[in-house]
A = this chain, B = another copy of it.
Amino acid sequence: MERSAVFHRPDQNYSFILDESTLGIRIRTKKDDVERIELIHGDPYIWKDDKWVFEKIDMTLNATDALFDYWETTITPPHRRIRYGFELHAKGETLLYTEKGFYEEVLYDCQYYFCFPYLHASELFNAPDWVKDTRWYQIFPERFANANSSINPNNTIPWGAAEPAQNNFFGGDFEGVIEHLDYLVDLGINGIYFTPIFKSPSNHKYDTIDYFEIDPQFGTKEDLKRLVKECHDRGIKIMLDAVFNHSGYYFAPFQDVLEKGQDSEYANWFYPHSFPLHGGEQPNYETFAFVASMPKLNTQNPQVKKYLLDVSAYWINEFDIDGWRLDVANEVDHQFWREFRTVVREQKPDIYILGEVWHDSMPWLLGDQFDAVMNYPFTTNVLHLLASQTITAKEFMNDMTTVIQSYPKNVMDVTFNLVGSHDTPRILTECQEDVSRVKLIYTLLYTFMGSPCMYYGDEIGMTGGKDPGCRKCMEWNPERQDSDLLDHVKKLMSLRQSEKLLANEGHFQFLNQEQSEIVAYRKYHHDQNVLVIINPTNVEQTFRIPHVLKGNVIKNLWTH
């Protein structure tokens, strides 16, 4: 047995609370190295004749990737406390694996074993229930629809009359969104994520001037109220974008520091290195990236904290929004996000908190901060398989398994899956405009675990390179929309709506077959299965219905 490959630690993705009384326990071993694993478990305080009393249950080989096998089980400790270890069985060898290492026989002193000391309901990762049934649509409001020309910003260009640039404006507004809500309902979405709408000089609005005001180019606060109501009437949730890592250059407190230097009462709202402040290529204050117009906010300062938490509560209480997406969330301190969660949950218990974190996000997904992150690792793997076509089906399943296994199961159920955004080239462009590959990508997106998001216009085959290319005006002329692709997307959304197993009601499992170049997985609950089979190659492939499904009646959900 390869002992150095065995890994477990009683937290994060290896021990996690699934509900008030259930713990999920996982262990990884070297691929194909261990034949069977039993979980040895008991209450730390139950002993008999000076020996710890324990039981054994079999673990399930749940998933496998390039290097590892992942074993899992759930357990309901009667007194919410558990000590546990693993009995690993391989050919000719049985080992006990505990917190203190490996032993050749079972130990009867629970002090050697791993400990999950207490299941506290308050430590459950509890994203709102509605999220797993949500099909998101991301709107970049400057570019979705211009319905009220009276509030156009200066120098507004006629809709679609130019390529998007860093600094041009087409006048998209709230009225434009309201006018097209029926289009969105018909498409099948039931959640909208808006990139920022607060007062800001740019077209993307990631450089906020005033967190308590709507940018006038989008409309008024009354318009936003109407927009939210119209959405809620149609069963659509609304998520806004909170840019709390940094402010804009024209944010009043930053202007005050620019003017007064260290005498400004706002000097500690930012991270100045010296005074007076200057921008340029190397600003003498901390910024987002090296962008002088985006000074980093000091979220460790109690005044800043109070200001931003007031903002967070205000838009929930006054406008009834349903979610906050948090920009550059990984560069803000964890304690700020913990307090943020407490405050916004107090306003609305089922609010959704989505962080922008592109990399491994476990530290934010422990139940005390975010409900989900933007799952760019999902994006990357999908692009490798179907856009750049640099990995095989088997590699895709391995790589995706690595991502899935790096989080608790209940975290993956609500992860925010996307295949493009305002920060990436559009998916059709990534696929060299091969629509058939985009269709496969959507099939994957809408049948996978997590909460899928469509970037505006991708459903009708819009193209565009990286920012600003991906921020073209929405194409409303039906003749220039790809109706075939649109129908494909509608069908997928409708299927996800009618088949609850596709909206994360059950479990997920890749069906990885030797020699096969097929990506296949099932979502299942008891004896109900939904089977998804994707052929990412250009040639016909054979897929054998796996043994686990034999004897079942099979219905083709796609063609029936």
Report A's interface with B, CB cutoff 8 A: 2-5, 7, 9-11, 30-31, 45, 66-68, 79-81, 99-101, 111, 114-115, 117-118, 120-123, 286, 289-290, 300, 330-335, 338, 357-360, 362-363, 368, 376-377, 380, 399, 402
B330 A101 Cβ-Cβ under 8 A: no
Bound CA–CA A289/B334 (angstroms): 33
Most buried by B among A4, A66, A368, A377: A4
A81 B331 Cβ-Cβ under 8 A: yes
B120 A333 Cβ-Cβ under 8 A: yes
* Minimal beta-carbon separation of A246 from chain B (angstroms): 12
- Given A45-B290, A122-B300, A331 and B2 touching (CB < 8 A)? no
* Minimal beta-carbon separation of A511 from chain B (angstroms): 22
* Minimal beta-carbon separation of A314 from chain B (angstroms): 24
> Which of B67, B118, B332 contacts A4, CB < 8 Å?
B67
Bound CA–CA A123/B4 (angstroms): 31
Copies in the complex: 2
Report chain B residues within 8 Å CB of A120: 300, 333
* Minimal beta-carbon separation of A297 from chain B (angstroms): 12
- Name the residue of chain B whose CB is nearest to the CB of A288: B45
Report chain B residues within 8 Å CB of A117: 330-331, 357, 359
A360 B99 Cβ-Cβ under 8 A: yes
6 contacts across the A-B interface (CB closer than 8 A): A3-B67, A4-B5, A79-B286, A111-B376, A115-B330, A117-B331
B115 A399 Cβ-Cβ under 8 A: no
**With A4-B4, A7-B7, A114-B360 already in contact, 19 other A-B pairs whose C-beta atoms are closer than 8 Å:** A2-B4, A3-B67, A4-B30, A4-B31, A5-B5, A11-B363, A99-B360, A111-B380, A114-B359, A115-B359, A115-B360, A117-B331, A117-B359, A118-B330, A118-B333, A121-B300, A122-B300, A122-B333, A335-B368
> Which of B2, B45, B118, B362 contacts A289, CB < 8 Å?
B45
Report chain B residues within 8 Å CB of A7: 7
A11 B115 Cβ-Cβ under 8 A: no
Report chain B residues within 8 Å CB of A4: 2, 4-5, 30-31, 67-68
Bound CA–CA A286/B81 (angstroms): 11
Bound CA–CA A536/B139 (angstroms): 70
Bound CA–CA A9/B7 (angstroms): 13
> Which of B10, B100, B122, B334 contacts A399, CB < 8 Å?
B100
A101 B360 Cβ-Cβ under 8 A: no
Report chain B residues within 8 Å CB of A2: 2, 4-5
Bound CA–CA A399/B114 (angstroms): 16
Bound CA–CA A324/B225 (angstroms): 51
Report chain B residues within 8 Å CB of A67: 3-4
* Minimal beta-carbon separation of A385 from chain B (angstroms): 14
Bound CA–CA A11/B362 (angstroms): 9
- Given A330-B117, A399-B100, A9 and B362 touching (CB < 8 A)? yes
B11 A359 Cβ-Cβ under 8 A: no
Report chain B residues within 8 Å CB of A300: 120-122
- Name the residue of chain B whose CB is nearest to the CB of A398: B101
A-B complex: 9 closest residue pairs judged by Cβ atoms: A4-B5, A117-B330, A45-B289, A115-B359, A120-B333, A118-B331, A4-B30, A122-B300, A4-B67
Report chain B residues within 8 Å CB of A66: 101
B123 A334 Cβ-Cβ under 8 A: yes
B360 A9 Cβ-Cβ under 8 A: yes
* Minimal beta-carbon separation of A243 from chain B (angstroms): 16
* Minimal beta-carbon separation of A175 from chain B (angstroms): 37
Bound CA–CA A446/B178 (angstroms): 72
* Minimal beta-carbon separation of A248 from chain B (angstroms): 18
- Name the residue of chain B whose CB is nearest to the CB of A66: B101
